[in-house]
Structure 1
Amino acid sequence: MIVIYGIKANLNPIKLQLSNVIHGCMQSVLGMPEDKRAQRFIALDAEDFYYPADRSAAYTVIEINIMQGRSVKTKKALIQLLFQRIEEQLNIAPIDIEITIKEQPAHCWGFRGMTGDEAHDLTYKVQV
């Protein structure tokens, strides 16, 4: 699950393109299949989104929730690719992007009526 926060006036016009960039990075680095896009956009009024003074109104927060298992190298590669592609394709400078990867053990995930550690039919690898 990925949650993206930003100011409504800036985030809404780029939602689809940003979604595509993020999912493309997830596919490239983590091997996520095309049909595993789980994203939520939280578009806030400017008065409801406080951010550091040295950032612009394009400031965007990306929270990536994943099961534990990816290596440090893999997670760093994902973060770097996100910075690169978001800047290239959306003209948002890395200073205006904040990325947090939140990991939880597989037993803390629930989907399709089971916990993540019970799912043995995933179409992607967690240990990458």
Structure 2
Amino acid sequence: MIVVYGIAENLNPIKAELSDVIQSTMTHVLGLPEDKRAHRFIRMDSSDYYYPSGRTDAYAVIEINMMAGRKVETKKALIKMFFENIEAKLGIKPVDIEITIREQPAHCWGFRGITGDEVKDLKYSVNV
């Protein structure tokens, strides 16, 4: 699951295209199916959104929540490709994007009535 935080006036006009960029990047680097899209956009009022100096109002935070198992090299490639693709497709400079990856063991995920360590029919590999 991906959660994106940003100022509402800046995030609203680009959220569909940003979702496409996020999904294509996840598909390319992690091998996720195109239909495995779980993106949440948290649009905030500028008076509630504080961010570091040197950033613009385009500043956005992207939290990537996923099951543990990917290699360090894979996660680094994912982060770098996010920066590249967001700048190329949306014109947002890397200085205005913050990305964090939050990993949990498979047994801490619950979907389709089972836990992640019980699932046997994923269409992608977690250990990449």
TM-score with structure 2 setting the length: 0.99
Partner of 1:111: 111
| Count of residues paired in the alignment | 128
After TM superposition, give the deviation of residue 53 of structure 1 in Å.
1.4
Deviations 1:46-101 (A, max 9, x none): 00111011111000000000000000000000000000010011000000000000
What are the superposed Cα offsets for residues 12-69 of structure 1, whole Å, 9 maximum, x if unpaired? 0000000000000000000000110000000001001110111110000000000000
In structure 1, what is the equivalent of residue 54 of structure 2?
54
Gaps of 5+ in 2: none
What's the offset of the Cα at 1:2?
Answer: 0.3
Is residue 71 from structure 1 mapped to residue 71 from structure 2 by the alignment?
A: yes
Read off the aligned partner of 1:93 and give its amino acid letter.
Answer: K
2:58 alignment partner, SS class: coil
Paired letter, 1:24: S
> Unpaired runs of 5+ in structure 1?
none
Aligned to 2:99: 99
What is the percent sequence identity of the aligned residues? Answer: 66
TM-align CA RMSD: 0.4
TM-score (norm 1): 0.99
Structural mapping, 1:1-128, within 5 Å: 1-128=1-128
Once the two structures are superposed, residues 86-120 of structure 1 have per-residue CA deviations (whole angstroms, 9 ceiling, x without a partner) of 00110000000000000000000000000000001
The one-letter code of the counterpart of 1:47 is S
Which structure 1 residue ranges, 4+ long, deviate > 6 Å from structure 2? none
In 2: Cα distance, 1:25 partner to 1:4 partner: 15
The letter for the 1-side match of 2:79 is I
Give the distance between the partners of 2:22 and 2:93, measured in 1 at CA.
Answer: 15
Instruction: Name the aligned partner's letter for residue 17 of structure 1.
Output: E
